[in-house]
Structure 1
Amino acid sequence: MNVRKPRLSIIALSILLGLNNSVFAQESTSAAEHGQNHEDAPERVQVTGSRIKRSSDSPSPVQDISLKDLNQKGVVSLGEILQELPSVGASLNGNGSAGTSHGSSSLNLRSLGENRSLILVNGHRWVNGAGTRGFRDFVDLNTIPKAIVKRVEVLQDGATAIYGADAIAGVMNIYTHDEYVGAEISTYYGETSHGDKETLNLDMLWGNDIGDANVLFSMSYSDSEPVYTQARELTAVPLNGLSSGTPEGLFREANLASVLDFEIPTLGITRNAGQDGSDLDSWRAATSGDTYNRYDNNYVVGPQELFSTYLQAIIPFDSTEMRVEALYNRRESDQQFSPVLSVVRGSRGFSIPNNPLVNPFGVEFSGSDFQHTSFITENDYRVNAQVVETLRFGVGLEGEVDLGDFWSWDAFLSVASNKGEFTSYNQLHLDKLALGLQACDASAFDVDVGSLAQGCVPINLFNPLSDEVIDYINFTGRDENEAKQLDFTANISGVLFELPAGEVALAAGIEYRREEGVDTPDSTINDAPLLNTYRTTSSSPRYGTDGSYNLKEAYVELAIPLLREVTMAEYLELSVATRYSDYSTFGSTTNSKAGIQYKPVQDVSLRATWAEGFRAPSILELYEGERFTFSAVIDPCSGNNSSVGCAGVPASYVQPDSNVQLRTGGNRLLQPETSENISYGIVYEPASIDGFSITLDWFDIEIDNSITTVGAQSILDTCANTGRACDSITRDGSGEILEIIDGPINLNSLKVAGVDSVIRYTDSFWQGDWDFSLTISKLSTYEETSVLSDGSTVVDDKLGQARSREAYPEWRSSFSTRYERGPMTLAYSLRHIGDTTETFQGEELHIRTTVYHNINAVYEFDEQWTWTVGVNNIGDKQPPTSRTNANINFDQNTYNAIGRFMYTKVSYRF
């Protein structure tokens, strides 16, 4: 019979064997306390990176994060904790508004991209996330409630042969509580020293043995308030400059020269604030100082509300054990943007007649020279809101069968969906605006205005817009998208035969998986405009996505002991694995892995692995409907038409706004990415120093045929500097960028190399237990090779560089120490992000090293009450300033501008 074991016994055994390279303290529970029989054979356990239950070390580096470490961080989001690991690069989080996570939280191992890191829960795949403007092709960590998590294992090695696609950079395996008996209620509150980001969290965890079965139920609720740009000096004003235009508006129209008695500059005219636009004396020549801070009152950190329930049952039978998992998770989040920027231009089919209801000047505004620049503040701030619901149900069986030796087997089926509803408030209906500008005169158009005339109100742009006008032109868009997953796995593991050095173990299995994605954008937004030539609404149109694929896989893994307890070979083991995958989209592929574990003496363990990997194109990359968005860029042709790609751009052209329209979409011709991972390391755990260990692991990863989008800024720079890729850029006669086209292609290759070092020491002194851990990640290579349009290649060395929303520092590290004495625990931790260099308008700028310090204290009053207090970022450290990260002034995927955050937590167990 297969006897259930607590997961933490795995970690305890791994530490004793010198395998685990965790930087954190770990809990251990004796398996004997739960009935495990050790009399016949050494206990075999399974760790992330291998399907074989073994009693020996594994050649792959695995890092463990215990429950104490998860609770020590003083945050309520699982993503916030895991993103601080030194091996994790720039990841999506709650920072910012425009072009960011839209409420999602991602994990970017080795800085190789979120969709090259595999997320597992209890060893099984999790459904991909939902996101504004289309679903995700990676797991959203906000769909996994922190309250159900007992510990996390991080495999920092390629594992395609073991787990399948996406495990190029590594694997994050999240384990939920099991064998839990008791109940606990926790309340948490925190806020910054600036008085914002107020965060409330309530958790309830209950478990009990019912007969031989164990049932676990969890419920969680959290609510976090935003941080606004004006609340931090760093983000109050964009370093790349304010936007042209004011709430009073800038108007350009050649006919104005005949009715105004002052010279009209290129910028046009504007109204003095607070004056009546019907009086021509209230108008003056516009200047370069007529600007608007469109990023005022945006979010530095967005608000979020989460609610989740989780039910788990482990039910033993005579020789089999059933596991049932059911989860419901709901996320509400939103982002706040500037009021809509007017798109009223003659070139886009808008005009204002000579009608005193809508125009005090007595001349018509029309033609290509007519332009209105203004932020429609009367329509309030735009808000994109998300409601994302995650449903997952899983059922599995596991047991043992006597085949001469006891072989363990398991099978698991999961069905999951992530459904998102997205609402964009305070947009404009541009066709209604066009009709209102004509004083609701339907005869001004050559088409039937239809229902647009219902409720029409004449619109006078030359004075503040009335509530009646806003009610008429205000538009709310609604999108929906959903990601679905069905996954079935079956595995068997056991001993084939015995060699002099030990048992030859095997694991084998099959997997069937189906992924689906549906994205349904708002139909009105996608409608062709009727009364203007630009868009129907101010929201960006896009086509929907509807795609799916399935795959069938089979794998086999072997662990072969070669030597044991001989001279200069305490132990030597070879492990090999291979996986065959058959995809409905591109065909079949086979990927293999080999590893070696060598202990020349008891205190030293050497390990090395070689692994092939691949990542199949996601539904999003294959089938995403064409969509339009905006990207903040710096136009190299602004004020400079001497570059080869800027020929034809007027010399007088100055970029009016950093945000430009970007058009993207899927590519059904994409092929899988392939990779080769090589790692080798050493573990030193001297018997003479109890509780001390040090590990060094080198890694080298090469990805070929990588799927990439060039990026709006790269397209602009390539065009300006080389004359290539210019056909992806559309400009108007003034030189202003109208659109940039970018989409995924198999174009580049990527090489990443570095070393991880972990030093850990545990001891008891000063009448307490101490735990010290230091982890250092050194990035030595990060090179992306791009193929240019003429077939030549160029190598982009990103090592030590800072780019838009991503940074590649050579050094990242963390240090923590924890002191436990009786009912009291005191903890300190440090997070270090090394310096980088960014290039801004040809000048190299230094981005300083950033270090965060955190403290935490826990006191258990009795067996029931526990009180926790802590301060994160006790020095109130703000992110380093960045000019390439336009508008927000810092890299929001690497740092955060929350500042000092103080929290307290009270838990009651019964």
Structure 2
Amino acid sequence: MQASTLRALCAGTAHVALLAAGLAAPAHAQTNAAPPRADEAVAIDTIIVTGSRIQRRDADAVGVVTTLTEQDIKNSGANSVGELLQKLPSAGVSLSSNGTQGTSYGASSINLRYLGGAEGSGNRVLVLVDGHRWVDGVGQRGFRDFVDLNTMPLGMIEGAEVLKDGASAIYGADAIAGVVNLKTLRDFDGVKVQAKYGVSSHGDGASYSGVANFGKRFDKSALIVSLSYVKDKPILTADRDLTRVTLVPTTSVGTSPNGLYILPGLSNNTYFGTPAGFAASATPAALTAGSTIGSGSAADDAFHTASLPGDYYNTQAQGIYSTGPSERYGIYGRFTSDLTDKIRLKVEGLFNERKSDQLFSPVLLDIGGSAGTIRGFAISSKQAYNPFGVANGVPAANALGFAANQAWRIRKVMNEVGNRDNVQDVKTYRIAGGLDGEFSLLGRDWKWDVYGLYSKNKIQTQALNSVNYDNLALGLSDACATAAGCTPINLFGTMTSAQAAYIRYTARESNQTEIYDVTANVTGELFQLPAGPLSIAAGYEHRTNKALDTPDAFVNALPTYIPTPAAGAAYASNTTTTVQTRSPTKGQYSLDEVYVEAAVPLLKDAALAKSLDVSLAARYSDYDTVGGDSTFKVGVGWKPINDILVRGTYSQGFRAPSILELYQGGRQTSFQGADPCNGGASANPKLPGCVGVPTGYNQANYNLNGLIPGTISGNTKLKAETADTYSAGLALKPRFLPGLTATIDWYEITVHDAIASQSATQILSLCAQQGGVFCGLVTRDASTGAITNLVQGVQNLSQIKTSGIDSTIRYEFSTDLGRFAAVLDTSYLESFKTTSPNPAGGAPIVDERAGKGDQPRATYPHWKGQTSLGWNKGSWNALWRGRYIGGSTDVTNPVKDAHTKAIFYNDLEGGYQFDKYDTAVSVGVSNLFDKAPPASYANAPINYDIYTYDARGRYAYVRVSAKF
């Protein structure tokens, strides 16, 4: 580790954090919450484990639940709730990292079983806080339809439970893949503080975080206030070997600050003395670096025919973030009071603010007349900075102008305008409250609760240093000379600061989501059966979700100085800036739901049945968008002896389309994907969809690092998706080996009418391999082959079917050397198949993803696991953690084998507990051996899946906590 890193680490001990990802063992039904500490002793008569609304003294009939305790959280090295959950082996691709090659834009999600929506958004995972709903997220380019875990202040979370077998019948929609229930602080007296500082061995990616929790118990009430702060600093792609240069080989000259010029009239021009083919489409010209453009006939001397390697330019070295910066502030407060002996009041309030940004390379300009990505521009022979015009001393008879109906084109990296920067400011508000209590009915005690909440997420975004096409067009035209405030633009050399300022544009947008939710529940025992009480829970919920997206009006307006579609020009454009356009979106839906759940003990202390329990649940959901539907769940738990629990569940899932999926207006975007037609038709003679693509074509040479321009939109004709989930498992707790528990569970989930869209790579592959109707979603430039638009729309695909096995072994034991705790937690993804209709008819198209990583940000290894060995003796403690991500396939490529390697991370932590103020100091190192992510050609240009791995490398941290 570098000395500077050690100095920074030591200097940062006063900085602060609470939550981090650690290893938590999935616990079977009997796992209870961690026992209260001595200063927090309270009577606990009943508990609720995620997966059931029924309150009971134990949870033997509840399915498998992964429990993250307060100690698990403290003993880990992450900086957010999302990172905490995303390291679970059962978690799939989830939004994270805030890098410029992804779409997280500072948000964080949890995607169980890989069943989340686009890029692991997590919209098939229900995220609850103390059993209640959370508001949907917001984003840089419109609102989201999943919970953003970065809207939760760190200090408010004390534990978590993850149910992975589906629970729509118990909790409602969105629980197809499972439920994550985050638990807030328990009441306490005093002050708890924690501070954490960490930094990578490269000296970057530093993080500062801290929590201060204040608690006070009164005679019949309690108050908690939690303050949280987190700051993460960025990591640049240029600062890691893996991400410094794209893996995609450069086969032709790409865009650079020296420009690429296709200028009709310069080929074989007698006046300028240029050879045949000079500045033609097949041999564009570039400005020679450091040269000065001569006047008159010498103007061409500053230009040369672009070629490799001399004109290679690496856009990855432009200050691009591999991991972007983020800063979060949060405050959470809760007041509880016993209004009577049987009625309690709870009121909660929360505010959280996140500021984040993503730095991109400068705009890669691509304009022209009837060529280029954005067309309809013209450069007069009289324009002030046209080197081949009269302003540069060229006689009028020899001067060249470039008209809007000519196939001229200029591509240039706009360094003078500056790096593009997307900036987010997200504010989350939440107020909630309720009553709960007990009553007696039919000689039995019952519990009830009512709860209401309102929450709102709102984001203000900026897209800095984009280019105003309207001002650029005016600045290139004759009209600039007489237009008030116009600055003539030089695209043939270095622009002045005034020129850059004239065409620079900052887009300002906002979007928001809201939730109104009211719930009521009752639970108790109906009557006594021979094996125990028949317990039930029932309830009602009314919920309204709203969303509003207000994009920048100028960005979405038609340009003034470029021909528009209304003008009827074939070279028309309908965009005013380089910022992606989208239509305003507004939508909402409301629903009413009722449910009932029963826990039925069938046998107890019988032959070969120490216990046999059945749990049943049913829910009816009525949406004002897609109507009503019912879901059911049944679970069985059988103990032939006390040491063995055999369990199984069947559940039905239901998810109505979200506001985003229904109403999202057409939105421009950029897809990451591999074009099978690279090399052109001649290099791909067996691919009918590549016919007409020019030889030597490579999508990587177009747009931003080869990103594919496209359009996505909602679909108001969507219907609800349903699911069937089966699980079966075994839990062992042998009496002959105290401290050992082992579980193994199989699952199979089938989502019917799944709401999804094919990836850009899938769409391109179908087009290339099948041609014809399969290419209807792909538009190419006829002269260059470059993809100019790829349409991706959500639809009800036939089905998604996934299956696998989870297992956990935990062993805790004491020796003369101290107390040890060992855990091994693994997840095997057997299959993940998406079946979609064949647009040409015939057999459906089946895509098996298990074991593959050949699509951007979509790695599906068969095996994932984590393990740990903890030790403590007296005031000392230590922990080793290991995390494994199995290998997967990569796309076939010319620079590496078609395989993404497996990786194993090692973490170490040690600490000491002081008596005074219960002060604890821990020092740790994550990724001890500085493992870089496995290289992935499919994820070029950043070269790794940012939603599965991170490029931070070795990371050292120190954590200090105390109680007063």
TM-score of the aligned structures, taking structure 2 as reference length? 0.89
Any conservation in 1 of the 2:884–2:904 contact (CA below 8 Å)? yes
Any conservation in 2 of the 1:220–1:309 contact (CA below 8 Å)? yes
Question: SS at 2:105's partner residue?
Answer: coil
User: What's the counterpart of residue 523 of structure 1?
Assistant: 553
Tell me which of 578, 588, 603 is aligned to 1:538. Answer: 578
- Whether 1:674 and 2:722 are equivalent positions in the alignment is yes
1:65-117 deviations in Å (ceiling 9; x for gaps)? 11111111122211111100000011110252034210000101011111111
Tell me which of 253, 262, 265 is aligned to 2:275. Answer: 262
How far apart, in 2, do the equivalents of 1:470 and 1:280 lie? 24
- Whether 1:465 and 2:515 are equivalent positions in the alignment is no
How far apart, in 2, do the equivalents of 1:906 and 1:237 lie? 39
Question: SS at 2:593's partner residue?
Answer: strand
How far apart, in 2, do the equivalents of 1:429 and 1:30 lie? 61
Question: SS at 1:377's partner residue?
Answer: coil
Structure 1 runs of 4+ with >6 Å offset: 30-33
- Whether 1:365 and 2:402 are equivalent positions in the alignment is yes
1:337-391 deviations in Å (ceiling 9; x for gaps)? 1101113211211111112622111311234420001101101100000000010
1:524-563 deviations in Å (ceiling 9; x for gaps)? 1000111124321111111011000000000000111111
Shift of 1:785: 1.1
Any conservation in 2 of the 1:837–1:844 contact (CA below 8 Å)? no
Tell me which of 194, 203, 211 is aligned to 1:203. Answer: 211
Question: SS at 1:203's partner residue?
Answer: strand
Any conservation in 1 of the 2:162–2:179 contact (CA below 8 Å)? yes
How far apart, in 2, do the equivalents of 1:866 and 1:369 lie? 70
Tell me which of 363, 378, 381 is aligned to 1:354. Answer: 381
Any conservation in 1 of the 2:818–2:873 contact (CA below 8 Å)? yes
How far apart, in 2, do the equivalents of 1:405 and 1:652 lie? 80
Tell me which of 496, 499, 504 is aligned to 2:534. Answer: 504
Tell me which of 440, 445, 449 is aligned to 1:406. Answer: 445
Any conservation in 2 of the 1:20–1:62 contact (CA below 8 Å)? no
How far apart, in 1, do the equivalents of 2:480 and 2:528 lie? 91
Gap runs ≥5 in structure 2:
1-24, 117-121, 389-398, 563-571
Any conservation in 1 of the 2:834–2:846 contact (CA below 8 Å)? yes
- Whether 1:770 and 2:817 are equivalent positions in the alignment is no
- Whether 1:396 and 2:425 are equivalent positions in the alignment is no
Question: SS at 1:147's partner residue?
Answer: helix
- Whether 1:27 and 2:34 are equivalent positions in the alignment is yes
Question: SS at 1:138's partner residue?
Answer: coil
Equivalence map 1:640-719=2 (5 Å): 640-641=680-681, 642=685, 643-651=687-695, 653-655=697-699, 656-657=701-702, 658-719=706-767
- Whether 1:897 and 2:951 are equivalent positions in the alignment is yes
Quick one: structure 1 residues 483 and 410, their matched pair in 2 at CA, closer, same or farther if it must change by over 3 Å? same
1:712-753 deviations in Å (ceiling 9; x for gaps)? 221111111012321111122212211111110002311111
- Whether 1:282 and 2:302 are equivalent positions in the alignment is yes
Question: SS at 2:745's partner residue?
Answer: strand
How far apart, in 1, do the equivalents of 2:439 and 2:475 lie? 77
1:98-139 deviations in Å (ceiling 9; x for gaps)? 342100001010111111111000010111111111111110
Tell me which of 255, 260, 273 is aligned to 1:245. Answer: 255
User: What's the counterpart of residue 46 of structure 1?
Assistant: 48
User: What's the counterpart of residue 821 of structure 1?
Assistant: 873
Aligned residues: 879
User: What's the counterpart of residue 450 of structure 1?
Assistant: none
Any conservation in 1 of the 2:602–2:613 contact (CA below 8 Å)? yes
- Whether 1:314 and 2:336 are equivalent positions in the alignment is yes
Any conservation in 1 of the 2:28–2:65 contact (CA below 8 Å)? no
Tell me which of 647, 656, 662 is aligned to 1:616. Answer: 656
How far apart, in 2, do the equivalents of 1:193 and 1:384 lie? 27
Equivalence map 1:469-508=2 (5 Å): 469-508=499-538
- Whether 1:874 and 2:928 are equivalent positions in the alignment is yes
- Whether 1:725 and 2:777 are equivalent positions in the alignment is no
Shift of 1:632: 2.4
Greater shift, 235-244 or 305-314, is seen at 235-244
How far apart, in 2, do the equivalents of 1:30 and 1:861 lie? 17
Read off the aligned partner of 2:958 and give its amino acid letter.
Answer: T
Question: SS at 1:157's partner residue?
Answer: coil
TM-score of the aligned structures, taking structure 1 as reference length? 0.94
Question: SS at 1:244's partner residue?
Answer: coil
Question: SS at 1:382's partner residue?
Answer: strand
User: What's the counterpart of residue 743 of structure 1?
Assistant: 793
Shift of 1:788: 1.0
Question: SS at 2:661's partner residue?
Answer: helix
Quick one: structure 1 residues 33 and 139, their matched pair in 2 at CA, closer, same or farther if it must change by over 3 Å? closer
Any conservation in 2 of the 1:435–1:442 contact (CA below 8 Å)? no
Shift of 1:35: 5.5
Tell me which of 98, 108, 111 is aligned to 2:111. Answer: 108
1:426-463 deviations in Å (ceiling 9; x for gaps)? 001101001111154478xxxxxxxxx44211112111
User: What's the counterpart of residue 304 of structure 1?
Assistant: 326
Greater shift, 228-237 or 341-350, is seen at 341-350
In percent, how many aligned pairs have the same letter?
39
Any conservation in 1 of the 2:98–2:325 contact (CA below 8 Å)? no
Any conservation in 2 of the 1:308–1:328 contact (CA below 8 Å)? yes
- Whether 1:597 and 2:607 are equivalent positions in the alignment is no
Read off the aligned partner of 2:290 and give its amino acid letter.
Answer: G
Equivalence map 1:791-870=2 (5 Å): 791=841, 792-802=843-853, 803-840=855-892, 845-864=898-917, 865-870=919-924
Equivalence map 1:370-389=2 (5 Å): 370-389=408-427
How far apart, in 2, do the equivalents of 1:136 and 1:59 lie? 32
Shift of 1:45: 2.1
Quick one: structure 1 residues 454 and 309, their matched pair in 2 at CA, closer, same or farther if it must change by over 3 Å? farther
How far apart, in 1, do the equivalents of 2:31 and 2:96 lie? 27
Read off the aligned partner of 1:340 and give its amino acid letter.
Answer: V
How far apart, in 1, do the equivalents of 2:135 and 2:484 lie? 44
Quick one: structure 1 residues 613 and 149, their matched pair in 2 at CA, closer, same or farther if it must change by over 3 Å? same
How far apart, in 2, do the equivalents of 1:863 and 1:270 lie? 70
User: What's the counterpart of residue 7 of structure 1?
Assistant: none
Quick one: structure 1 residues 32 and 441, their matched pair in 2 at CA, closer, same or farther if it must change by over 3 Å? closer
Question: SS at 2:365's partner residue?
Answer: coil
Quick one: structure 1 residues 781 and 652, their matched pair in 2 at CA, closer, same or farther if it must change by over 3 Å? closer
Question: SS at 1:887's partner residue?
Answer: coil
Shift of 1:648: 3.3
1:796-820 deviations in Å (ceiling 9; x for gaps)? 1111111210111111111012112
Greater shift, 468-477 or 639-648, is seen at 639-648
Quick one: structure 1 residues 21 and 717, their matched pair in 2 at CA, closer, same or farther if it must change by over 3 Å? farther
Shift of 1:654: 4.1
Quick one: structure 1 residues 250 and 415, their matched pair in 2 at CA, closer, same or farther if it must change by over 3 Å? same
Shift of 1:409: 0.6
Quick one: structure 1 residues 432 and 752, their matched pair in 2 at CA, closer, same or farther if it must change by over 3 Å? same
Tell me which of 84, 89, 97 is aligned to 1:94. Answer: 97
Shift of 1:646: 2.3
Any conservation in 2 of the 1:250–1:267 contact (CA below 8 Å)? no
Shift of 1:18: 6.0
User: What's the counterpart of residue 179 of structure 1?
Assistant: 187
Greater shift, 425-434 or 27-36, is seen at 27-36
Greater shift, 644-653 or 790-799, is seen at 644-653
Any conservation in 2 of the 1:130–1:418 contact (CA below 8 Å)? yes
User: What's the counterpart of residue 138 of structure 1?
Assistant: 146
Question: SS at 1:771's partner residue?
Answer: strand
Any conservation in 2 of the 1:560–1:574 contact (CA below 8 Å)? yes
Quick one: structure 1 residues 256 and 30, their matched pair in 2 at CA, closer, same or farther if it must change by over 3 Å? closer
